[in-house]
Amino acid sequence: MSMEKFGSKYGTSFQNKIISALLGDRSFSRQVFDILKPEYFDSESSEWLVREVMSYVEEYEKLPTLDVLKVRINTIDRDVLKTTVVDTLKFAWNHLESDDLDYVKEQTLDFCKNQCIKNAILDSVELLEQGKYDVIKKKVDDAMKAGQDSDLGHEYKTMITERYEDSIRNVVSTGWQVIDEITQGGFGKGELVLFAAPPGIGKSWSLVNIGVAAMKLGKTVAHYTLELNEGYVGQRYDAVLSKIAVANLKYNMEDVKKSVTSVKGDLIVKHYPTKTASVTSLKAHMDKMILQGKKPDVVIVDYADLLRGPSNKERHEELETIFEDLRGMAGEYEVPIYTASQINRSGAEDDIITGTKIAGSFSKMMTADFVVSLSRKIEDKLAGTGRWHVIKNRFGPDGMTFPSKANFSTGEISIYNEDSISGQQTKKEMKGGESLVRKELAQKYKEMKGEIDF
């Protein structure tokens, strides 16, 4: 009996999307390693690509980059095959962000498992005549287990030392000492961090500060923006790195270039229009980054409320799914993910913003590992101050409030322990802001009364 091919069920584009899934998903490539045969593909170019990918995975235990594949393609002697392989790779590359890749993976697994079972049954015919029933059972059992995830997880009794290694969380500093102190050094793989604030308070600037701190440590940052365009987000990074006001950046290009080129890490900013990108879109883009040798160490999503969720759900259910998917993405790619969320109007003028003021608060609070609110009343805006209130913290204490200073011309944000010298000074400046508000209100009152000559 001849080997069944994918062409018996799936077309060319579907088969090429299988290659997209292989190139973009390490766990999938490992799962199908023993059961996906290059011979299942109809075209010689697809067969060649799959064989090279699987060979590389076996040798190096990681996915090949685009540069690796280009080098291997150049070893092909036949021009016709080389051309078709390049075309197939282009198609697979361009479909790394396809929304149907999960379905493609599921169908591929089913097809390969069925092939394993069919082969086991065919091999058992002769064994049945020989009465080798134990061998038959083992063949069928092995076939039924084909394609299953072999990772059992954390084996409690044998992995005691591993539980206490630094690599367990592999944290990246936030750049703010007070936050690092209460989170055991920052945030690590699989963790979701939420900044909550009213509009115009500094959520986006806070996320940029996180990105800059990671870059200074030599990390690669993926910054997804669903509101501001890529160039403007880049300017904000320029401002924080160079300490030059955004309005003056273009007049100080040499200083900006020096600051940017001297930082150790790297940054990719990707813009998606509001409500056009889902978490799947972000994962596909991250797969593309990994394929190009730029695996993100820190992921920033500005901000989660603007992602697209399941259209058949109520808004609160949609947000719940988005946040759960984001946390799942953090675990899958072993990175911390930072995002932001809007505060209800009722919390906009509160000194301290609590969890109940976060839009869709219950699902977000349940899913995130660390939640902090940012509040800046009118007097804070005048004084350049603010308050950071820790609502939730899986890694240490919560419920405390830290005074903060913010310079939104350069984007620099500092957070202090309120008992420190800087913290005490910031609290004095907050009171100074209150005094400025009173003076401004008194001035307006006089103007209304006609007590000022014009």
Helix (H), strand (E), coil (C) string for 324-344: HHHHHHHHHCCCCEEEEEEEC
Please, is 372 exposed, middle or buried when counting C-beta atoms within 10 Å of its C-beta (0-12, 13-18, 19+)? buried
Which is higher by pLDDT, 74 or 29?
Answer: 74
> Where is average pLDDT lowest: 139-148, 183-192, 274-283?
139-148
CA distances from 435 to 84, 259, 352, 441 (A): 73, 38, 20, 10
Q: Is the pLDDT of residue 330 over 90?
A: yes
Find residue 338's DSSP bridge partners. 193, 300
Cβ proximity of 272 and 222 under 8 Å: no
Model pLDDT, residue 384: 83
> Average of pLDDT values for 182-207?
91
- C-alpha 174/C-alpha 217 separation (Å) is 10
Model pLDDT, residue 437: 46
Q: Is the pLDDT of residue 358 over 70?
A: no
> Average of pLDDT values for 184-189?
93
Model pLDDT, residue 301: 97
Residue 78 DSSP label: -
> Average of pLDDT values for 439-454?
54
Q: Is the pLDDT of residue 442 over 80?
A: no
pLDDT interval class at 158 (50, 70, 90): confident
Q: Is the pLDDT of residue 225 over 60?
A: yes
Which is higher by pLDDT, 120 or 394?
Answer: 394
Model pLDDT, residue 366: 83
Q: Model-level pTM? A: 0.66
Question: What tokens appear for 302 in the block?
Answer: 């500005």
pLDDT interval class at 99 (50, 70, 90): confident
Cβ proximity of 222 and 237 under 8 Å: no
- C-alpha 23/C-alpha 49 separation (Å) is 10
* Percent of residues, the chain, with pLDDT higher than 70: 84
Which amino acid appears at position 64 of this protein? P
CA distances from 111 to 40, 116, 234 (A): 10, 9, 45
CA distances from 10 to 13, 69, 141, 194 (A): 8, 25, 27, 42
Which amino acid appears at position 293 of this protein? G
Query: Residues near 373 by Cβ (< 8 Å), separated by ≥ 6?
Result: 195, 196, 197, 343, 347, 352, 353, 354, 355, 357, 358, 388, 389, 391
Phi first, then psi: what are they for 152, rounded to 5°?
A: -75, -30
> Average of pLDDT values for 83-96?
93
Question: What tokens appear for 276 in the block?
Answer: 């056009």
Find residue 270's DSSP bridge partners. 224
Instruction: For the chain, list the domains and their CATH numbers.
Output: 6-145 (1.10.860), 168-442 (3.40.50.300)
Residue 122 DSSP label: H
> Any idea how long the chain is?
454
Pairing between strand 401-407 and 412-415? antiparallel
Model pLDDT, residue 347: 47
- C-alpha 292/C-alpha 429 separation (Å) is 48
Model pLDDT, residue 180: 95
Q: How many CA atoms lie within 13 A of 136 on its CB side?
A: 12
pLDDT interval class at 454 (50, 70, 90): very low
> Average of pLDDT values for 70-90?
94
DSSP helix/strand/coil, 217: coil
Q: Is the pLDDT of residue 345 over 80?
A: no
- C-alpha 409/C-alpha 314 separation (Å) is 39
- A 10 A CB-CB count for 429 gives 17
| Greatest mean pLDDT range, 87-101, 207-221, 373-387 | 207-221
Q: Is the pLDDT of residue 376 over 60?
A: yes
Pairing between strand 266-271 and 220-225? parallel
Model pLDDT, residue 124: 76
* Average pLDDT, rounded, for the chain: 85
Question: Any idea which residue has 């399941």 for tokens?
Answer: 310
Residue 136 DSSP label: H
> Average of pLDDT values for 396-422?
90
> Average of pLDDT values for 300-304?
92
Model pLDDT, residue 204: 93
Residue 49 DSSP label: H
Q: Is the pLDDT of residue 433 over 70?
A: no
Please, is 14 exposed, middle or buried when counting C-beta atoms within 10 Å of its C-beta (0-12, 13-18, 19+)? middle
> Average of pLDDT values for 146-153?
59
